A and B are shown apart, each in its own frame.
Chain A
Amino acid sequence: GEEVAQTPKHLVRGEGQKAKLYCAPIKGHSYVFWYQQVLKNEFKFLISFQNENVFDETGMPKERFSAKCLPNSPCSLEIQATKLEDSAVYFCASSQSESRSTEAFFGQGTRLTVV
């Protein structure tokens, strides 16, 4: 597709439940990034992929967060045992060029609310 497609737009989970977010990058883009926007404005880098390989995962909370980008499937970000502080908007971005995030296009985000 011509835009980064994120599903669902909204997700509500009870504390302790699992949450799974999806991202379909722009066709032909090799790089995928996940960002978490908390407190409305603060963006935090989570993880980046080059094709199906993790490129940089230094921003990922290792205990409960995991992500995958498998061939011929949307990328996914999964949160096991969600906590209240996981409530945020999660943005996915994709990039074609070797400049990676400098040429990234962002999706519209998934708003996760943990209650």
Chain B
Amino acid sequence: AQSVTQPDIHITVSEGASLELRCNYSYGATPYLFWYVQSPGQGLQLLLKYFSGDTLVQGIKGFEAEFKRSQSSFNLRKPSVHWSDAAEYFCAVAAPYNTDKLIFGTGTRLQVFP
């Protein structure tokens, strides 16, 4: 069965510091991979996605993610965090042959200190 693991429940960083949020998936082949952000009281906003090709994916708001097949990982990174990045971040996967369902990780809460 497909699953997504986000090992870090809560991360705190200082504004301006770099950020890496971890995501590991379990799937027999390479799924489609996504990162979403959820601000308090808001819906989900897609940051970036990976389907195939270049394993380093650029997204919105200065985020990027790197797909590493050997590690079954899709970690999200940002070189310099802004206070407005404080939110909940969700990694998700979908099977290429069944893209109706997104399987979400349990999320990582990012707190940013000034």
Contact = CB atoms under 8 A, between A and B. Distances in A.
A72 interface: no
Contacts of A31: 100
**Chain B: interface size category:** 20 to 34
Contacts of B88: 41
A45 B49 contact: no
Contacts of B101: 45, 48, 56, 59, 101
A35 B32 CA distance: 18
Interface stretch (A12-20, A77-85, A106-114): A106-114
A102 B101 CA distance: 9
A99 B99 contact: yes
B43 A106 contact: yes
Q: B32, B43, B46, B92: which has the most chain A beta carbons within 10 Å?
A: B43
Contacts of A105: 46
B43 A108 contact: yes
B44 A102 contact: no
B42 A102 contact: no
A43 B51 contact: no
Nearest to B98: A56
Contact of B102 (A45, A55, A107, A109): A45
A91 interface: yes
A100 interface: yes
Contacts of B34: 102
Interface of B: 32, 34, 36, 41-46, 49, 51, 88, 90, 92, 94, 99-104, 106-107
8 contacts: A43-B90, A43-B104, A45-B103, A93-B44, A101-B99, A101-B102, A102-B34, A109-B43
